[in-house]
Every structure is written in structure tokens, then in C-alpha cells.
Amino acid sequence: MKTMAKRVLLFLLLNIAIITTISIILQLLQVRPYLTNAGLDYEALLIFCLIWGFVGAFISLALSRLMAKWMMGVQLIDSDTTNPTERQLLTIIQMLIKKAGLTMPEVGIYDSPEVNAFATGPSQTRSLIAVSSGLLRTMQWDEIEGVLAHEISHIANGDMVTMTLLQGVVNAFVMFLARVFAFIVSGLGKQRDSRGSPFLYMACVFLFQIVFMILGSMIIAAFSRFREFRADAGGARLAGNISMIQALKRLQQVSHIRETETQKNASFQAFKISHPGGMLRLFATHPPLEKRIRRLQGRE
């Protein structure tokens, strides 16, 4: 209950911050209304959509480390820790970071039975790597090294910023196209016809945003799958091909055990593992583990 309350509060605070920031920017830029008596002002609409599309995405990125710590309960590891597990974790990350030529990120552990690790942060110099207690209990250190190398590759590739830019572009065009199509369908675009309804226009905006959001999600998911392959390759260069393959194979084993226990497809947070079937594969953010292993083995 406490975790859920935290997430709801953070969601509300984040949205208040986004709406307030966007309102200020619109005022400062003096963005005029895009619906006028003369019709639809496409330039004003595009500016409006770009601001709404990008500001929210970049505020979320800027606060990503703080949100991860608060929502996931990540406890940062002190660089002078004497805990053997924490010391080993820091040693591996320091070694991999040096190979990647990056600045040492914040490193933390959070309590969760899930086999999970993630990297987040607004830039290469302000990043966070967090691992779950479940991952530390489940994997051997050479396998953990492969997981950490994968996450460090995400940081090295600038994947957080790239995904934010892509999300911003998709958000903007979803809003823009939805309003253009709604303007045409609702009848507001017929200047000499009084049958155009503002209520119908808003309903059409809502409907078209859902449709274009689904299409946009497919684009984002496709790029996400590409960046996972790229992070696997980067992880193999940093930790060695064997460690990377062993990490993925161990995740396969964990996935199989969980699916057997629950009698349904499991969805894990580590590498965002999921195995949807049919059309749902188009929305998968990560490729199947089998395919990732075959690619690292040079069989695909």
C-alpha cells in the first residue's frame, strides 16, 4: 500500500510539474490558439504539440534517477562500503565503466524477488545503475557481470536520451495528427457549414489519439528491440561474449521456472523480458531471449 501511495503521489506531482512548465513555456513563447474562426492554424498547432510532446518527456528524463530511487526504494552503495556483496558489485561496475570510458554512475540495490537490473538517468555523467536483491541471489558473478555490461552499454549508447527524443517526436505527431483528422471529421473544417460540433471534435481527438498512440507505440517498441540487440553486443564487448550469453541463458532458466509455477507467460523486469505472441509481438520492447542468444552466438 505504501509503495502504491508513493507512485500515485509521484505521478500527481510529476503531472503538476509538467502542466505548470508547459503553461509557462506557452505563455513565454506567446503561442496563439490553433483553433480560430478562420479554421485550423497549422503552425500554432505544430508548436503547441511539439511543446506538449517534448516537455513532458524531458521532465520525466530529468527526474528519472530521483523517481527510480523513490519508487523502487533503491539504496545507494557507499564507495567505502565493507559489505562483500556491495564491494564486489562496485568493483565489477568500476572495471566495466573504465573499459567503456564513462563516468562512474550511482550504484544501488533495491529489495525485490524479481531478477532485475536497470540503468536510468538524464545523461552519461548523471546516471544510475540499480540491481535487485533477487538478481544478486539468483546469478553467479560472471553472469551478473554480463547483466551490468548490458546496462552500462545502454548508458554508453545514450539510450535514455534517444528514447526520450523518440517519445517526444511520437507524442507530438500523435497530438498533431489527431487534431487535424478530428478537425476534418467533426465538420469544423467546413467554414460555411454550422454543423461542426466542438463536442464531436473533442470526441474525435480522443479517438484518433488512441489510434495514433497505438501506431506510435509500435514504432517505439521496434526501436527499443533494436537498442536491446545493440546493448547485448556492447555488453559482450565489455564483459566478454561468454558472460553475456551465460547471463541471458540464466534469465531463460528463471523465466522457464516462473512460467511453470504460474502456468502462464511471465513478464520479468530484468531486461524487461516478455514473450508475447501474435500481434502483441509488435509491442514487445525486448526481443525473445532465444533470438538474442542466437545473435550473440553468430547464428543469426
CB burial class (10 A; 0-12, 13-18, 19+) of residue 150?
Answer: buried
For the record, the C-alpha cell of 91 comes out as 568493483
Taking CB atoms within 8 Å and a gap of at least 24, the contacts of 7-14 are 7/71, 10/67, 10/70, 10/71, 14/59, 14/60, 14/63, 14/67
List the catalytic residues.
151
Instruction: Report the C-alpha gap between 170 and 177 in whole angstroms.
Output: 10
Q: In this structure, is the dihedral angle defined by the CA atoms of residues 210, 211, 214 and 220, taken in order, positive or negative?
A: negative
Helices (H), 113-265: 133-138, 141-156, 159-185, 198-239, 241-262
Rounded to whole angstroms, the Cα distance separating 117 from 122 reads: 17
With b meaning 16 or more CB within 10 Å and e meaning fewer, what string describes 199-233? eebeebbeebbeebeeebeeebbebbbebbbebbb
